[in-house]
Structure 1
Amino acid sequence: MKHFLYLLFGCLLTAIGVTILGQSQIVTGGTAGLALSTSYIFNLPFYLLFFVINIPFYVFSVLRMGWKFTLSTVLSISMLSTMTYFSYVLPELSLTPVFGGVIGSVFIGFGLSTLFINGSSLGGANILALYLQRKFNWDSGKVNFVFDFVVVLSGFYFIGFMNGLYSIMSIAVYSVIISYFKTQIKERNQYKEEKKQLVLKTS
């Protein structure tokens, strides 16, 4: 129950951040960024695109991270999709792209860090970042930034040059926050891996 509440809290923070970025016409990285960019292009709902885009990444997650992590990730993605679906009840905020980008990214940074520490993610590059940290001890915040930077660059044409720059600023902000929690994320993942190995040895 405690684990579920942490996931719920992490998704709530992220959903607030994504909503603020969307209202500021700023894209974020990863599959969330792809979903936001696609929603601008085709005028389709974010929650639907976000869930569909993540489907191919579930296969990689099952093969490399295990069923427990994958199911936790699916749960987090489902909760975030549901929360963003009801985001229309929130008041429209009149924020400048800079201020909206910073505020939204702070929410996303703490939301993703909460999910990572509790053995979950929001799919896409999040899964790969956690895998590379577990396998090669790479900084998950920096890995996220590289992949998110590529996603944001691909959206420059649709959101404009200035909003594209604000989007890069946005992913830098939440990547720094994730990097700040890298030790806790690493320790949590190591603990889970050691516990798994112990179970395998005793079985």
Structure 2
Amino acid sequence: MNIKLKASNIILILIGSIIFSFGIINFNMAYHLTEGGFTGIALILYHLFGISPALMNLIFNIPLFIIGYKFLGRTSFLYTLIGSLSSSFFLYIFEKFPFNFSLAEQDLFLVALLGGVMIGIGLGIILRAGGTTGGVDIIARVTKKEFNWPMGQVIFIFDCIVLVITYFALGDIRITLYTLICVFVGGKIIDIVQDAGYTARGALIISDEYNQIGDAINTVLERGVTQISAHGQYSKTERPMLYCVVPKNEISRLRQLIHAIDPHAFVSMLEVHEVHGEGFTLDENKQLIQQH
């Protein structure tokens, strides 16, 4: 089981590296944009001196591998190593065999949008599989572990520094702003990809028929229900509140079930991005990854 899981993660990291590298070479590099992190620095050097981004990506990561090996766990380090080496390899491949989309200079907004989407999808898949492409991600993980600095803030600060360098190095505010769009879109897509498979709904239910509703959820939907002690501020009465988590494709059934028992029940739906445990990650027949 563990071997299979590791193999699937490696495959996902390789797929993510292909998508990430494709976006970097065929959009950012081809249309003179840069990127955040060390990849952005590699692209700046390419635009200034024609140095291969694949080569620079690998060179930048060598000292970071040493740091990562010392501070990160073995599994995280190995996945990061695979992600870094594979992304450098596929950057090299797409450098040698680029695609020509023939987008005009005035289409830079479209270029930034497509580049951000491709980079975001690729990095999202890699991160979801437990890997990274190295670079500032390693620094962020180390500072989080050693100093408890938020990873997102460390990455954001570094990206801002790279954008400033982009402006002064290339002397083009237009390129800098389009790069900012690309980085912003990429970040949003990363969040979407990482959360997509886990999206579910948490239901908070307040009803006088809480016992009957709870039993029905247990038997009909075969979902666990938790009773939470609640106190009504207006009514000044104690009443149990039910909480349960269901995948998106069961929300309609849950609503119908509650309405059939108590049409006046108060139901609040919360978005849930990640669920672990029995009935979800421990039960293959009820995975939240089902998408309908």
| TM bucket normalised to smaller | 0.7 to 0.9
The residue number in structure 2 matching 1:195 is: none
The residue number in structure 1 matching 2:35 is: 28
TM-score relative to the length of structure 2: 0.57
- Are positions 1:53 and 2:64 aligned together? no
Q: Where do 1:55-134 residues align within 5 Å?
A: 55-87=62-94, 88-95=96-103, 96-130=107-141
Structure 2 portions without partners, runs of 5+? 1-6, 199-272, 276-292
Secondary structure in structure 1 of the residue aligned to 2:122: helix
Q: Which amino acid aligns with 1:91?
A: F
Residue 36 to residue 24, structure 1, CA distance change in 2 (3 Å): same
Q: 1:115: how far off?
A: 1.1
Return the alpha-carbon distance in structure 1 between the equivalents of residues 151 and 124 of structure 2: 13
- Are positions 1:11 and 2:22 aligned together? no
Q: Which amino acid aligns with 1:147?
A: F
Return the alpha-carbon distance in structure 1 between the equivalents of residues 274 and 64 of structure 2: 24
Q: Which amino acid aligns with 1:120?
A: G
The residue number in structure 2 matching 1:149 is: 160
Residues 54 and 88 in structure 2, CA contact (< 8 A), matched pair in contact too: yes
Return the alpha-carbon distance in structure 1 between the equivalents of residues 157 and 120 of structure 2: 15
Q: 1:90: how far off?
A: 2.7
Q: 1:127: how far off?
A: 2.2
The residue number in structure 2 matching 1:173 is: 185
The residue number in structure 2 matching 1:44 is: 51
Q: Which amino acid aligns with 1:172?
A: F
TM-score relative to the length of structure 1: 0.80
Q: Which amino acid aligns with 1:162?
A: R
Q: Which amino acid aligns with 1:14?
A: F
Residues 46 and 84 in structure 1, CA contact (< 8 A), matched pair in contact too: yes
Structure 1 portions without partners, runs of 5+? 189-203
Q: 1:70: how far off?
A: 1.8
Return the alpha-carbon distance in structure 1 between the equivalents of residues 116 and 108 of structure 2: 12
Secondary structure in structure 2 of the residue aligned to 1:155: helix
Larger Rg: 2
Q: Which amino acid aligns with 2:97?
A: V
Q: 1:187: how far off?
A: 6.5
- Greater fraction of residues in helix: 1
Residue 164 to residue 80, structure 1, CA distance change in 2 (3 Å): same
- Greater fraction of residues in strand: 2
Residue 67 to residue 139, structure 1, CA distance change in 2 (3 Å): closer
Secondary structure in structure 2 of the residue aligned to 1:25: coil
What root-mean-square deviation, in Å, do the aligned CA atoms of Structure 1 and Structure 2 show?
A: 2.6
